[in-house]
Every structure is written in C-alpha cells, then in structure tokens.
Structure 1
C-alpha cells in the first residue's frame, strides 16, 4: 500500500514527530521516505547543510526558551569569524540559568540567557549582536584572538551606528567575570565605527600594531576649496596620505577606471594614494615592503616601527 503524501504543512520545512502524529501520520508513515533527522524527534525532507538550515531544523525541536548563541549566533547575524569557526557543524544553544542546558549530539549547551537580549534573524531567536560579541570571549585562545574580536566589533558598529560602541561597552561592563575579559576590553579599545569589511579592519590594525599613527576610517577627502574628491579607506589627513584597500568589488575594468580617475584628481591636490591588497596584510616580506612604502609616504622613521 502506498504511503499517504506528507501534509503540505509538514513538507514545507522541518517538523517534529509530535506534529506529524497530530497531523494523522504514524511512525511507519515516516519511515522509508528519505527523511533526514537533524536532531532527536525532528524530520526534514532536504538535508540541512548551512548553519542557517541546521539552526532552522534544530529550532523545531528545541525548548521555547532556547536561543542560538556564540559562534552560531555570529554566523546567523552575519558577523565575520575565522573560516574554521564559521564552518563548525556544532550549534551553540543557550537557555536561562535556572534551566537545564541543552544536551544533544551536535550542540553545545550554554546558560545565562536571562542576561542577554534576544533578536530575531529569519525567524530564529538569537542573542543580540552586542551579547554575541561578548560571548565570543569564551573562544579566545580557541580559534579567536584580539584582532578577531576587533573585526567582529567593527562589524557590529558598522550595522548599528556610532552609538553602538557605548552599547558594546555597557554590555561588557554588565557581565560578571566574563571569559576573555582582557581580550574583549583590548578589542573594544581598538574597535572603530565606519569600517566596511573585515580586511579593512585588519589593514587598520596592521598599521596600528606596527606603530603608525592611527588613520581615519572611510573618511572624506576634499580639495583645497573644500570640494569632495573621494572617500578614503584609511586616511592620514595631516600627511595627506590615503590607503585604498582593493577588494573584489574593485575588480571590474569600469571600477578600476573610476578609481584611477579619482586618484589622479586627488594627486593633483597634493594627496598621495597607495593601494593595499589582501596579500599585503599577511605576515611575510610583502607586508614588510608595504609598511616601508607607507612609512616613506608618511615621513616615518622605519627604525622606530615594528615591521616584522
């Protein structure tokens, strides 16, 4: 006898075995259909691969008071993490401290939800960007360092506005003995609003770590009459030097042509524009050469810088 088709409401996404029974299906009706079991008592037609798909599948079987946190929340929120952490198949799930932490294969259970703010991302409950950043302090020394935390903080500031740095500080100050407290405090001191990509964050940090004066981030450059010339990724205004990070968005011929034109206009006004590429940021001879080039443009003595 042919099995009855799945009801429309079950075929549309993850569902629990309890929902299937309430819809009139028996256990035998669920067998042999090629359904996937992302976690206990949950079924789904298509195997979930992405963090978002796996979180959506898991959410069907989690307690109502559970939310996604830590690295899982960061991925769902679109906050940048090192690749090994972004691809971690284990989900982070948090509940209030007076509840038993979630213990299932494929997840890490956490407590402390009562001190976190919860937001919705594509219908999934996750800890807020500020709380997620603080929780990532747990991973310092386990895949994250201070610069990684700066990158995440910059991303939070970019989406939340300049006032968000006060929210980050208040969120961190409200924590009682948070893990990674020293690294989080250092990262907060280095975070800046206005950064538009992780590599821009790392470019700025490269110069700061080497002892350069800190540049302005995505700042407007004007001509002598005050007219708009360009918006520079890294701007040393006093020395009239601009560092332009060349990411993938700059790859087209039309974009390169426009960049060259505006660079010429800036040079006519006495500005020096230097390009930065992803490979310039990686440790090695190329980074040292890049730092020396910028030091010469800025009139800095390389002997007092940290170029290694």
Structure 2
C-alpha cells in the first residue's frame, strides 16, 4: 500500500500519534494498514525489525528520563552475547529509583538509573559500558553464564584501554579491568554479584574476539598455566615475529584461533608463512578451531595436543 499521503518528515522514522496529528494527519489515516505499530501510540512507515529500530520506536513514546539498559544496552553497544540472549526482543528500560518503573508491553522496566553512568549511542540514551556489564549479572536467568560475562568483560575492558604510557605506543590494557572492578564495587549487594566477581577475576585485555576468550577459558578450566593474550612473539635476536592470540612465553608455544577471517587462501598462506618463521625460531604455533572448544572429542584432542607441546602431564589436568 502507498503512504504518499504521509508528510515526508514522517517517512524517515517512527513517530507518535500526537506528532502526526500536529503535522495535519487526520485520525482515520493513522489506522492505515500500511503503517507499522511497534508499540502503543507509535507508528512507522518502515518495518521495525532490529533492536535499534525497536528502541528508536519505543523511545518516541517513553518519558525523557530513561536509558536503555541490561541486555538492550549490550545489544546496542554491539557486545557479543549468546544467540539466545542476543535474540531477545523485549527492551530493558531503566529509570531513577524514585520514579515508577516503565510498564509497557515489550519493555522490562528497571530502576536505579542514578547509580549508573550513561552515554548516547546511535542517538539513544544507554547505560555506559561498565555498568551495562554489571547489569548483565541481574539477568543470568535469561541464558547467561559466567563464561558469557567473561567474554563481554574482555570486550569491554579492551574497548576501555587507557592512553599509552610515556615512551610506549601501546594502550594501557590494565585500565579496563580496573574500571569494571570499580563499577561492581559501587553496587550494594548486586544481583549476580558472586558470578560477576568470579568472572571479573578472569577478565583480560586486549582480546580480539569472543572465541579467543572461550579458548583461553577452556585451557584455564582444564588446569593449564594461563596464557598471555595477544602478545608479541620475538625471535632469539629480539626481532618481532608475530602477535599470538594465546602465548605461553616460557614454553615458546602459541595458540592461534582460526575464525572465519582466516578462511581465505590468501590469509591461510600468510598464516602458514608466519608459522614457518616462528618454527625457525623454536616457537610452536598450534591452531584452535571452534569445534575444538565446543565438541567434546575435538576438545580432548586439542587439550592433549597443547599438553604435549607445553610438556605437561595430562594426568594432572582436567582434560574432558
């Protein structure tokens, strides 16, 4: 159906019924079946399908004193969530404690905005990165586990790196975990606090992908010495060789997670050349794939392969 009757400035995004009437649109037109109804008192010329479109549509009908929080904030920040959580369609909306919770179909109302930092992203008010991470501890019942909090914590800590120290061109990776710890300590008896505290002990930076985190946790859980993350690897003469995803420096072993970006012939040729150069310098570079983390048989084989490279006794490890 055509919406040519709709004023041009209402074609570009969601709008409230009051705004439409103020623009001269008659009430009967607002019942046109071609209009989408994302929430009560809001219409849109275009379908409202992703979290940004839904949040933008609901924002038009919500009070000014709100911020999107919890899972919705994590989605809008682009943080890596498990599929079951990332697919959530209801919006988490936060207000200050002395105001009533938002009660609207399609929203989960929360209070406590005064205790969170906020930011504007994509034109929408959100809780800040560190407070969003802490708030995820309140929604563990939606399908989040400790490892998921570590994954998100690694990503947040990496994003919040501080400026380089004098004489260095590398960011200060220690800042992010400190900010997360400060945010958690500011909360009084937070829901999920025990799990958050346990996850925080495992947060590291810098981390380039969620699967790097999950691979590292696989080794830690099995009792391996914890590898350093995304560290430069050098030859005997100090020459830079490569940046390793997981690095056991003392044993000169590197674990490289092979994601989709490593699938091309060109990239695999580059990776093979790096491994050959590292091998010449007595470094062992072993590949890790998603199946090595998620499939029990592949995981056991991967852990045994790394145990041999690290000269570890499998009997003293939790290889399963």
TM-score normalised to the size of structure 2?
0.94
Which residue of structure 1 lines up, in the alignment, with residue 167 of structure 2? none
Task: Give 1:295 shift.
Answer: 0.3
1:190 to 202, 211, 215: 202
Alignment of 1:18-33 (within 5 A): 18-33=18-33
Whole-angstrom distance in 2 between the partners of 1:221 and 1:253 = 24
RMSD: 1.3
Which residue of structure 2 lines up, in the alignment, with residue 265 of structure 1? 277
Contact preservation (8 Å) 2:3, 2:45: no
- After superposition, give the CA deviation of every residue in 1:83-114 in whole Å (9 maximum; x if it has no partner): 01101111111111111111111110000001
Which residue of structure 2 lines up, in the alignment, with residue 146 of structure 1? 146
Task: Give 1:33 shift.
Answer: 4.9
Whole-angstrom distance in 1 between the partners of 2:3 and 2:222 = 68
Which residue of structure 1 lines up, in the alignment, with residue 317 of structure 2? 305
Whole-angstrom distance in 2 between the partners of 1:200 and 1:221 = 17
Task: Give 1:67 shift.
Answer: 1.1
Whole-angstrom distance in 1 between the partners of 2:224 and 2:86 = 31
Which residue of structure 1 lines up, in the alignment, with residue 244 of structure 2? 232
Whole-angstrom distance in 2 between the partners of 1:3 and 1:122 = 27
Secondary structure, in 3 states, of the residue corresponding to 1:270?
coil
Task: Give 1:4 shift.
Answer: 7.2
Which residue of structure 2 lines up, in the alignment, with residue 218 of structure 1? 230
Whole-angstrom distance in 2 between the partners of 1:256 and 1:186 = 37
Runs of 4+ in 1 over 4 A off after TM superposition: none
Contact preservation (8 Å) 1:235, 1:242: yes
Q: Unaligned 5+ residue runs, structure 1?
A: none
Which residue of structure 2 lines up, in the alignment, with residue 67 of structure 1? 67
Task: Give 1:218 shift.
Answer: 0.7
Which residue of structure 1 lines up, in the alignment, with residue 42 of structure 2? 42
Which residue of structure 2 lines up, in the alignment, with residue 289 of structure 1? 301
Secondary structure, in 3 states, of the residue corresponding to 1:101?
coil
How many residue pairs get matched? 307
TM-score normalised to the size of structure 1?
0.97
Secondary structure, in 3 states, of the residue corresponding to 1:190?
coil
Task: Give 1:34 shift.
Answer: 1.0
